[in-house]
Amino acid sequence: MQYLTKQTFKIFWQHLWHYKWSVLVIFFGVIGGSITNIIAPLFYKQFFDVLVNSAGARESSVLVAILGKIFLVYFLGWLCYRLISFFMSYFQTNAMADLENTSFGYLHKHSVSFFNNNFVGSLVKKVNRFSHSFEMITDMLVWDLLPMVVITVSVIFVLTKKNIFIGLGILAWVIVYILINYFFSIYKLKYDTQRAALSSKVTGVLADTISNHSNVKLFNGYTREKKLFAQVNSEFQKIHQFAWNLGNYFETGQAMFMILLEIGVMYYAVLLWQKNILTVGDFVLLQSYLLNIIMRLWSFGRLVRKYYENMANAEEMTEIFTTEHEIKDVKNAKTLKITKGEIDWQEVNFNYNQTRQIIKDFTLKIKAKEKIAFIGPSGAGKSTLVNLLLRNYDLASGKILIDGQKIDKITQESLWQNISFVNQDPILFHRTLEENIAYGKPGASMAEIIKAAKLAYADDFINSFSEKYQTFVGERGVRLSGGERQRVAIARAILKNASILVLDEATSSLDSESEELIQAALANLMKNKTVIVIAHRLSTIMKMDRIVVLNQGQIVEQGTHQELTNKNGGLYKKLWEKQVGGFIK
């Protein structure tokens, strides 16, 4: 945890230092503004001393002059705090935006397996908490901690010059007060952590039941879920109340401790006044300083707790920053150059989690513009081979080449630029249809977008919407049917026009009418490309140039549909008879 704290501060400092001149203005502005709170009471002391000792109205000019000085001090303080406010506004908003940009950039460079192992909502929350924690910590430093230090040190210095015992007495009180607050905050932190964990649990149960609202209704789960929510909510309420009461008990003692300080200092001041060491103005000075210190130190314990809470929130994102990217470009990686579109797997091996072997000594060469299909039972390695080609995972051994270029020696961006991928359940951005299609080719003209949509047989349904191509599709494309989403994804791939095309179960969950349209769209998409198709429905791959049958990560058969169906005892023939012949019989 200490390591993460240092790393968090390092990241914060790097982003903070981009605005060093603003930070310096804020730093000296806080010092200046805090010192004005020390200087003003000194003039009030003079004011009351003159007022008490004046012989009459003839001293009014002196009093007015002192008031003028007080106004000037307050004006300088006002100017300092206004400067701090505007510079804080500039510095914090820019630094927070930079932190979010950095988080976004680093997060999206993580591998597919990283995202598979993390909740989307959790990652979004970590990014948001990271910049928010920076805001809260800098706020505490600028508006609470730094002024508290400057004012406390200045007060003790001035009062020590006035009377060493008053100054040392307040110094001893401050040290004891801070230590008690610090250790209490550390003690209370474990209960605050439990409260936060139970709060997340309550939120999790609520979110889970809302996501499954239809199941709650259809499986008569209302009473059970209500009871479960009440149970976890009750646990949260108890620890919440306990943590609050713990704080209330401490603040009760803290308030008494502050009363004792004030009464003790003022009592000692009375003794000094009796000896003509202090004046009435000194009492004004003392009271002003004591109130200032009490106000600044009152929330010190809360500051400590808020600091730890925000550091804990920030360190969740720091943990992601300190997790190295699993898939990285090699140094001086080259750009992939497609000349023909040949793909070559050579003795490829791949394991999940270093133990479960999925691909074993896989060797296969796909010719330029050849259209092949991967088929086989679930778990045979079909999708894994595609993921390895897209370099979503790195190989255990062996190599994959595209036109003679090893894919682990080229940039990932150039690899993805030359491969179009359409999967079973395409996910769309919550943006317009135009933007979703154009995602395949940034900067595409409207004419190109419409042409791609027509080739994908998507233009007709798009024009049926009142907003046409400006229609927003909803989160993940929920406002469209499965077939419509699929056609938008195909239009996107047509517009991208990459030399290599991968189709992963692109028609498996569609009705007959949608499938017919999408098959026609896919025929347009596959023209003059090297194509890899993954399919369970064998009727969709009969016209492929070659069908590769996989089982347990290895090739067991390959050939055309006709060749494989004529092969007695072959796996493909068995699968074909189950899917087609079985129904006919």
pTM of structure? 0.76
Which of 554, 552, 558 lies closest to 572, judged by CA? 558
pLDDT of residue 585: 38
* Structural element, H or E, at residue 355: none
pLDDT tens digit sequence for 106-116: 888 887 777 77
Tell me the residue type at 282.
D
Dihedral pair phi/psi, residue 113, rounded to 5°: -65, -35
Q: What is the DSSP string of 381-449?
A: SHHHHHHHHTTSS--SEEEEEETTEEGGGB-HHHHHHTEEEE-SS--B-SSBHHHHHHTTSTT--HHHH
Tell me the percentage of the chain whose pLDDT exceeds 90. Answer: 18
Tell me what pLDDT residue 3 has: 61
- Reported as a single tens digit per residue, the pLDDT across 324-362 is 878 888 888 888 888 888 888 888 888 876 666 778 888
Nearest residue to 319 via CA among 134, 130, 101:
130
- What average pLDDT does this structure show over 471-490? 83
Tell me which of 49-58, 163-172, 217-226, 245-254 is least confident.
Answer: 49-58
pLDDT in tens, 191-212: 877 887 787 778 778 878 887 8
Strands 371-375 and 546-551: parallel
Identify the pLDDT of residue 1: 47
Q: Residue type at 146? A: L
pLDDT for the residue numbered 489: 86
pLDDT at 423 over 70: yes
pLDDT higher than threshold 70 for residue 582: no
At 583, the pLDDT band (50, 70, 90 cuts) reads very low
Most confidently predicted of 6-20, 347-361, 535-549: 6-20
pLDDT at 407 over 80: yes
Question: Integer distance in angstroms from the first to the last C-alpha of the chain?
Answer: 66
Q: What is the pLDDT of residue 355?
A: 65
Spatial distance between the Cα atoms of 469 and 344, rounded to a whole number of angstroms: 40
The answer to whether 130 touches 99, Cβ cutoff 8 Å, is yes
For residue 213, CA distances in Å to 147, 206, 395, 561, 565 come to: 51, 10, 42, 46, 47
For the chain, the helix, strand and coil percentages under 3-state DSSP, each to the nearest 5: 65, 10, 20
Averaged over 86-114, what is the pLDDT? 88
Indicate whether 461 pLDDT > 90. no
Is 60 exceeded by the pLDDT of residue 466?
Answer: yes
In this prediction, residue 376 carries a pLDDT of 80
pLDDT, residue 146, reads: 92
In the predicted model, is pLDDT for residue 377 greater than 90? Answer: no
* Model pLDDT, residue 354: 63
**Does residue 378 surpass a pLDDT of 80?**
no
Distance CA 28, CA 320 (A): 35
Question: What is the band of 182 on the pLDDT scale with cuts at 50, 70, 90?
Answer: confident
Interval 258-288: pLDDT, tens:
889 889 988 988 988 888 888 888 888 888 8
Residue 435 has pLDDT above 80, yes or no: yes
* pLDDT confidence of residue 552: 82
Q: Is the pLDDT of residue 49 over 80?
A: yes
Segment 373-393 shows an average pLDDT of 83
Mean per-residue pLDDT, 546-575: 83
Structural domains of the chain ordered from first start: 2-321 (1.20.1560.10), 369-382+417-584 (3.40.50.300)
For the ranges 41-50, 439-448, 534-543, which has the lowest average pLDDT?
534-543
Mean pLDDT of 74-100: 93
Which pLDDT score is estimated for 171?
92
- What is the average per-residue pLDDT within 513-535? 78
In this predicted structure, the answer to whether residue 303 has a pLDDT above a threshold of 90 is no
Average pLDDT, the chain: 84
The whole-number pLDDT of residue 157 equals 92
Dihedral sign, CA of 231, 233, 235, 237? Answer: negative
